[in-house]
Structure 1
């Protein structure tokens, strides 16, 4: 497959669909130097973006968290996504809105005089973890930790916050793993590099309390599915050593969807009935 900069199609940029290969920014774009950018990851199923409005609302929230004036309403972002998806000709697709500070009068830490931009790209994307949905993903344990809320806008989906995620995933892939599990700044289990995590023990589900990382939209959907099943969910701080006693595990995220986990570091898990069942229920829900 060609690189992401060399494809046919169009990308929505600041209100206009432009040819894919011409969707470029200047070298001195502020976001390239100072990570002043926020984004969303969304999936369309059967021509409809799942929880689209929630993603648009979060994009605006994230922009506000990093002091970026987006200048688009939720309705305007929604309309732009519909237009871009239709132009792509795809019914099942990944949707990436991204907002950033561009090049302007400022070229330093301050960028208040620089314009803000919004773009939306759509492409086909299969299973994020390949065949892990049937076999169970294998995860490394990252040396990097999710930072304290006192140090970063941890509830924003901001580009700069993913630097340690990229390094963690690279290290994991070098070991033959699909991803890495990250602890938080206190040493509790937090999340994978781009997905939330759930565990099962004695018929109950345990999941880290999202007090210093994203409370993912897919995570919230899965919590509702578990509630509908009448399964008790305990959101709490989880010590790493507790993973030795958990029976099942899965990841949730727009890209990951619901992916069972077979191993995290030295800890192993059964790809069991509940993990498979929630994955199947999610697949049905997003296609309604």
Structure 2
């Protein structure tokens, strides 16, 4: 599949039925477009099975609830919609995007409780998110923006509005020749990349930012579990930027990123070492089991 995302062959599940890809449209006065009343999930299907698909469905409902949107479907119904999309498009290995948003209705101001909550699922074939960086190591800029205080926005929701500074920061990074950007949190501690969590190693142990100020990724949680199963000590804590100079390896985790080693953050350099490769291999084996 190729071409613009609004001009492709295939089927998208939208509001209870499969529709032709090009017909999956919304009105210009959709509340989610104007006020970011939208949440989503990114998932990967490996060999015909979505990895932790039900967990993603449950998180989508929780994210919607945090934005004061009642889900029109149960998690089981969301699971069924995703399976229907994969079957209709004949995909065995694909990226799956589930989306819930406030649609057009009787209200078009900030308040929109009278507007319906809508739901859709699309899927497409998508390779390594960072391209060759999957093997050579991603290069990250340091974003000028910071992840917001949890008291200013529901940071535990996978909400569209939280990605505005991610797009801006990734564009700025790409203009400098980097793959992505690293955010600090509102207090200046290391947080995450634009769409992935981050890990570091030192003396055989792993350090990762405490995920109470940004999304605690499902892939992040999975990788922490794999590390602990392998007997590796994992420290979830606040990490100061100046500590990056003492870390040996670094990698990113996310549904799209999977496990991607990092070779550089700003002026800091990292080895693509044995633990990075080991956890990448273990994750690859798990998702394809």
**Deviation of the 1:175 alpha carbon:** 0.6
Query: What is residue 68 of structure 1 aligned with on the other side?
Result: 69
Query: Does residue 196 of structure 2 align to residue 202 of structure 1?
Result: no
| CA displacement 1:143-189 (0-9 Å, x = unmatched) | 00000010000000000010000000000000111100000000000
Question: Tell me, what secondary structure is at the counterpart of 1:41?
Answer: strand
Question: Tell me, what secondary structure is at the counterpart of 1:40?
Answer: strand
**Deviation of the 1:92 alpha carbon:** 0.4
Runs of at least 5 residues in structure 2 that lack an aligned partner in the other structure: none
Residues 15 and 119 of structure 2 are in contact (CA less than 8 Å); yes or no, is this contact kept in structure 1? Answer: yes
Query: What is residue 149 of structure 1 aligned with on the other side?
Result: 150
Query: Does residue 28 of structure 2 align to residue 27 of structure 1?
Result: yes
**Deviation of the 1:134 alpha carbon:** 1.2
Query: What is residue 256 of structure 1 aligned with on the other side?
Result: 257
**Deviation of the 1:88 alpha carbon:** 1.2
Instruction: Determine the C-alpha separation between the residues in 1 that align with 2:286 and 2:78.
Output: 24
Query: Does residue 173 of structure 2 align to residue 172 of structure 1?
Result: yes
Instruction: Determine the C-alpha separation between the residues in 1 that align with 2:165 and 2:158.
Output: 14
Residues 30-45 of structure 1: matches in 2 within 5 Å? 30-45=31-46
Query: Does residue 61 of structure 2 align to residue 88 of structure 1?
Result: no
Instruction: Determine the C-alpha separation between the residues in 2 that align with 1:231 and 1:163.
Output: 35
Instruction: Determine the C-alpha separation between the residues in 1 that align with 2:154 and 2:203.
Output: 36
Query: Does residue 143 of structure 2 align to residue 133 of structure 1?
Result: no
Instruction: Determine the C-alpha separation between the residues in 2 that align with 1:21 and 1:177.
Output: 33
Query: What is residue 273 of structure 1 aligned with on the other side?
Result: 274
Runs of at least 5 residues in structure 1 that lack an aligned partner in the other structure: none
Runs of at least 4 residues of structure 1 off by over 4 A?
none
| CA displacement 1:229-274 (0-9 Å, x = unmatched) | 1000000000001000000000000000000000000100000010
Instruction: Determine the C-alpha separation between the residues in 2 that align with 1:241 and 1:88.
Output: 48
Question: Tell me, what secondary structure is at the counterpart of 1:63?
Answer: helix
**Deviation of the 1:84 alpha carbon:** 0.8
Instruction: Determine the C-alpha separation between the residues in 1 that align with 2:284 and 2:92.
Output: 15
Cα root mean square deviation, aligned: 0.5
Instruction: Determine the C-alpha separation between the residues in 2 that align with 1:6 and 1:175.
Output: 31
Query: What is residue 183 of structure 2 aligned with on the other side?
Result: 182
**Deviation of the 1:227 alpha carbon:** 0.5
Residues 227 and 233 of structure 2 are in contact (CA less than 8 Å); yes or no, is this contact kept in structure 1? Answer: yes
Query: Does residue 69 of structure 2 align to residue 54 of structure 1?
Result: no
Query: What is residue 160 of structure 1 aligned with on the other side?
Result: 161
TM-score by length of 2: 0.99
| CA displacement 1:76-111 (0-9 Å, x = unmatched) | 111111111111101000000000000110011010
| CA displacement 1:108-129 (0-9 Å, x = unmatched) | 1010111110000010000000
TM-score by length of 1: 0.99
Instruction: Determine the C-alpha separation between the residues in 2 that align with 1:33 and 1:256.
Output: 29
**Deviation of the 1:43 alpha carbon:** 0.1
